[in-house]
Amino acid sequence: MTCCLNKATCCIAIAAGAVGILAGTVISGGQHEMSQDEMMQQWMEMNAPGEEHAEMQKMAGKWDSKNTHWMTPGAPPETNTGTITYKTIMGGRYLIETTKGMMDMGGQETEWEGMNILAFDRMTGKHKFCWIDSMGTGMFIGEGESSADGKTITYYTKNVPSWTTGEPTTYKSVSTLISGDKHTFEMYEKMSDGSWFQNMEII
């Protein structure tokens, strides 16, 4: 991580680095050498919001949620309700999710909250998220790809401690925009035998 004392200098350094990446791509690809202005223009176009960001923006607003959790395979489900608010930031480049709800913790109803940053990185062509909540102290980070119609995004989070065993494992998160007023989120944990255990569903 680089700490910049002067914001203008920091922005110039970031832009220069991006231009350098583009220059290397152009030269190695055997194409004509672009001017610095052309490379800067290409970098700006690459980092402008695209179709994927327009699709994300359709989720903006306040939603009511029905949440179902399974603590371990075969365990009875636990259900609760909550609210989710999605808001676009930084010119439509990112979607901020804030979630509030109640959860049964050992027979006691406990209020919890969570926050998520959703993104589509045009440089890598990957959808990404970073989740935090009041039930832990870590960050849950994943990346993935969308279906051909752009309605379903499947993310993978690798080499993180299992919620059931504590051993490193992989999680799969599936987000689906069904309609203008219905959206689902499912989470699965990869078990030691290679099967997927669904531990969460949010409607």
Quick: pLDDT tens for 159-185: 999 887 889 999 999 999 998 899 999
Tokens standing for 135?
């039930």
Element (H, E) at 67: strand 61-69
Q: Tell me how far apart the 2 most distant CA atoms of the chain are, in Å.
A: 68
In the chain, the amino acid numbered 87 is: K
- Report the C-alpha gap between 56 and 52 in whole angstroms: 6
Question: Angle formed by the axes of helices 7-28 and 36-46, to 10°?
Answer: 100
Structure confidence by residue, pLDDT tens digits, 31-86: 567 888 888 888 888 888 999 999 889 899 999 999 999 988 999 998 989 999 99
- Report the C-alpha gap between 81 and 118 in whole angstroms: 22
Q: How many helices (H) and strands (E) does the chain have?
A: 3, 10
pTM metric for this prediction = 0.78
Structure confidence by residue, pLDDT tens digits, 11-35: 434 444 454 544 444 444 555 678 8
In 29-158, where does DSSP find H-type helix? 36-46, 51-57
